[in-house]
Amino acid sequence: MSDLATKIRIKDIATLAGVSEGTVDRVLHNRGDVSEKSRDAVTKVLEQMNYTPNLFARSLASKKQYRFVCMIPTYQSEDYWESVDKGFDSAALDFVHHNVLIEKNFFNQYDVNSFIEVSNKILEKEVDAVFLAPIFKAESIVFTDKLTNRNIPFSFIDSLIPEANYLTYYGQNSFQSGYIAAKLLLSSLSEGSQIMIIRTQRKGSVSNQTISRYNGFINYFHQNGLSGIYQIINVELKNDDEDSNFKVLENIFAMHSNIKAAITFNSKVHRLANHLVSLRQEKIRLIGYDLLKTNVEYLQKGVINILIAQRPEKQGFFTVRDMCRELIFRQEVKKINYVPIDILLKENIEDYMNFSE
């Protein structure tokens, strides 16, 4: 290899190809078993590097600082968004030699004014790219339109706004996950059962992702002619007042005697599980989202029946990686990247949590 080529590390190739360093080594030295998909991914990166190797060497030697800004909700330890943030951090370490700096900006996902304030502050800065969780759809469109007018590329994470001019999206097919959730929830319910759909109050519009999941759920409901078979009870709870939420649920159960199932379309299902235990309603079939520690604990206890997971750390990592591919290495990237809809039960959660790639 030339001196120029030796500046390109196996780790760089692995990151760009989305495979392990061991896989790259096996492809380079033509040894061991490598899947056709992985071999093609590595070969494609190698071909691109041979075509424009100066891009890699130049990026390693360049003094240009790439300033990427992420805008995601604030979080507490063990929250869903902490995992997304860890993905950002992991990618930042992988691309540190290419002068990639990721700046964190956080907003209150239950307050649209917080979102607007943070997005306006970002617009005052000199940035090379933005990674956005578009919780509030209308306000996200206003923000991303301004980014587009300034030729600042941006990527969506966790939920998608199809009409925006985004570079990439990593996250679930939210509509499809809601559809699947309905199928799972209703599969064993007796005729005449009542179903609670739980939502969390927000100061501003409902979460973009929550709407998509809800629409998928209702689509399954109507598509299969279930309106006359089951009754849906919509319940709105507060984000920060569990005493009030308990009373709301207590009243709901007092008024409705045949509630057999419940679902919430966000990661706060553990709060609902806690109230169901207090109300001695643990037999209700309960579905929620994301592998928060408390969610997993209630799943293992059997209070939560199903958790739907979406690999948040991978979302964060791949979002950064693809922006680097586009801006630094001039590589073509895939626009929409749906992560798997992982269905977790009490019986398989331990193996899922213990598996490492």
pLDDT in tens, 148-192: 999 999 999 999 999 999 999 999 999 999 999 999 999 889 999
Cα gap 113→103, rounded to integer Å: 21
Architecture label for domain 63-172+311-339: 3-Layer(aba) Sandwich (3.40)
User: Which ranges of the chain would DSSP assign to H, the alpha helix?
Assistant: 3-6, 10-17, 21-28, 36-51, 53-61, 80-94, 112-123, 137-149, 174-186, 208-223, 242-255, 269-278, 293-301, 312-327, 349-354
pLDDT for 91 beyond 80: yes
pLDDT score recorded for residue 2: 39
pLDDT of residue 357: 64
Note the pLDDT of residue 214: 96
Does the pLDDT at position 6 exceed 50? Answer: no
For residues 66-93, average pLDDT: 95
Q: Is 274 exposed, middle or buried (0-12, 13-18, 19+ CB in 10 A)?
A: middle
Per the CB < 8 A criterion, the answer to whether 67 and 126 are in contact is: yes
pLDDT in tens, 227-283: 889 999 999 998 888 999 999 999 999 999 999 999 999 999 999 999 999 999 999
Q: What is the pLDDT of residue 8?
A: 64
Instruction: Report the percentage of the chain scoring pLDDT > 70.
Output: 91
Q: Identify the CA nearest to 150 among candidates 129, 168, 119.
A: 129
Mean pLDDT of the region 119-146: 97
Residue 14 has pLDDT above 90, yes or no: no
Q: Which alpha helices (H) appear in 165-311, and where do they start and end?
A: 174-186, 208-223, 242-255, 269-278, 293-301
Q: Determine the pLDDT at residue 55.
A: 57
d(CA 316, CA 73): 13
Residue 31 has pLDDT above 80, yes or no: no
- Amino acid at site 144: T
pLDDT score of 67 more than 80? yes
Residue 320 has pLDDT above 80, yes or no: yes
Is the model more confident about 55 or about 276?
A: 276
Rounded-to-integer distance, Cα 146 and Cα 94, Å: 30
User: Percent of the chain beyond pLDDT 90?
Assistant: 70
What is the Cα 251 distance to its own chain's centre? 34
Tell me the whole-structure pTM to 2 decimals: 0.81
Highest mean pLDDT, choosing among 11-15, 86-90, 95-99, 237-241: 86-90
Length of the chain: 357
> 109: buried, middle or exposed (CB in 10 Å: 19+, 13-18, 0-12)?
buried
Record the tokens describing residue 310, joined without a space. Answer: 């979406």
DSSP state of 11: H
Beta pairing class for 306-309 and 342-344: antiparallel
Q: How far is CA 211 from CA 145, 153, 175, 207, 218, in A?
A: 22, 26, 8, 6, 10
The correct CATH number of 174-309 out of 3.40.50.300, 3.40.50.1000, 3.40.50.2300, 3.40.50.150 is 3.40.50.2300
What letter represents residue 16's amino acid? Answer: L
Q: How does residue 104 score in pLDDT terms, banded at 50, 70 and 90? A: very high
- Tell me what pLDDT residue 29 has: 61
Q: What is the mean pLDDT of the chain?
A: 90
Q: Which residues contact 171 (CB under 8 A, 6 or more apart)?
A: 156, 157, 158, 159, 160, 209, 310, 315, 338, 339
Looking at residue 53, its pLDDT comes to 47
- Cα 163 to Cα 141, 143, 145, 166, 226: the distances in Å are 9, 13, 11, 9, 32
Domain ranges of the chain: 3-60, 63-172+311-339, 174-309
Query: What is the per-residue pLDDT for 60?
Result: 54
Do 3-60 and 174-309 share a fold? no
CA atoms within 13 A on the CB side of 94: 26
Angle at 251 between CA 228 and CA 263, to 5 degrees: 50
Nearest in space to 315 (alpha carbons), one of 83, 109, 37, 129: 83
pLDDT single digits (tens) 323-356: 999 998 888 999 999 999 999 999 999 999 888 6
Domain 3-60 has CATH 1.10.260: yes
Measured CA distances, 12 to 95, 98, 164 (Å): 8, 10, 30
